[in-house]
Structure 1
Amino acid sequence: MSNQAGQQPFDTADVADAPVVTAPDGAEVRPLLVLEGLGSLAVFVLAPGQVTHAVSHATVRELWQVTAGSGALWRRQGGREESVRLVPGTAVSIPLGTAFQFRADADSAGPLRITAVTMPPWPGTDDEARPEEGPWEATVR
């Protein structure tokens, strides 16, 4: 059966089979799915005690939900700045242009795992993640 114009094929992914890449902020990323022009889905993993580099995005926005581990997220937009706890069930937004940095608690029983939707899909360009000044010293490369 052929697709009607404008329809996208069904896709299925398993995080265990996803390639492992390094995000510009240093977190481990497992890209899962893409809906062309709309968004992409990935899982971020940060080992206990690790801290990412602070970055902001040039063209994308993100929604995160913590699925395992614990840690903290710092984010700054204009004159607003805050740090929030990350525990399973916590959901946060990263609006366009927001500077952010996250870390996994050193005493966490396992890695901090975050499922994230990026809108539009992650472009894969070198200039998408811009370095920022954050509150913590990064421990990832």
Structure 2
Amino acid sequence: MTDFTTLTLPVQPTVIAPDGSQIRVLPALAGGGMAHFRLLAGQVAKAVTHRTIEEIWYIVDGSGEMWRKQGAREEIVALAPGVSLTIPLGTHFQFRASANSALSAVAITMPPWPGEGEALFVEGPWRAT
């Protein structure tokens, strides 16, 4: 039997993601993990793809944009509180915060984040900061 986990959102980032975003690690179970992502106003994450995980994001604060690409399909979506989106396995993606607003999201990774080497850098539409 797995123990219960209860956690309050950490004030400071737990780690910096390979894409450059601030991460506050939240609870995980065998099937998936959860994290809070944050980019400061005007920041642009590095474009990446994942080797083994897929993600579901929910935007909780701020505004920005997310670029996603799968093969020939490519799109940019506006990010604002209440928007949720998926990042299926193999998707190239990049996100950025608007110039006047930090961007915060909660994301589920399935399976849980395996560690270093999971993210591969790819070419995206924007220059990372």
TM over 0.5: yes
Asked whether 1:31 is paired with 2:21, we answer no
Q: Relative to structure 2, which stretch is displaced further, 13-22 or 113-122?
A: 13-22
Query: Could you report, residue by residue, the CA deviation over 1:13-71 in whole angstroms, capped at 9, with x for unpaired residues?
Result: 111357521000000000011102x0000000000000000000000000000000000
Asked whether 1:93 is paired with 2:86, we answer yes
Structure 1: gaps of 5 or more residues: 1-6
Once residues 29 and 121 of structure 1 are traced to their aligned partners in structure 2, the CA distance between those partners, rounded to angstroms, is 14
Secondary structure of 2:69's counterpart equals strand
The aligned residue for residue 46 of structure 1 is: 39
Q: Which one has a larger percent strand, Structure 1 or Structure 2?
A: 2
Once residues 34 and 81 of structure 1 are traced to their aligned partners in structure 2, the CA distance between those partners, rounded to angstroms, is 30
Once residues 45 and 19 of structure 1 are traced to their aligned partners in structure 2, the CA distance between those partners, rounded to angstroms, is 9
Letter in 1 for 2:62: G
Structure 2: gaps of 5 or more residues: none
Once residues 71 and 128 of structure 1 are traced to their aligned partners in structure 2, the CA distance between those partners, rounded to angstroms, is 24
Asked whether 1:8 is paired with 2:2, we answer yes
The aligned residue for residue 116 of structure 1 is: 107
Secondary structure of 1:107's counterpart equals coil
The aligned residue for residue 133 of structure 1 is: 123
State the TM-score, normalized to the length of structure 1: 0.88
State the TM-score, normalized to the length of structure 2: 0.96
Once residues 50 and 9 of structure 1 are traced to their aligned partners in structure 2, the CA distance between those partners, rounded to angstroms, is 37
The aligned residue for residue 68 of structure 2 is: 75
Once residues 114 and 40 of structure 1 are traced to their aligned partners in structure 2, the CA distance between those partners, rounded to angstroms, is 14
Once the two structures are TM-superposed, the CA of residue 78 in structure 1 deviates from its matched residue by: 1.0
Aligned length: 129
Report the structure number with the largest CA radius of gyration: 1
Once the two structures are TM-superposed, the CA of residue 79 in structure 1 deviates from its matched residue by: 1.1
The aligned residue for residue 4 of structure 1 is: none
Alpha-carbon RMSD across the aligned residues, in angstroms, is: 1.1
Percent identity (aligned): 52
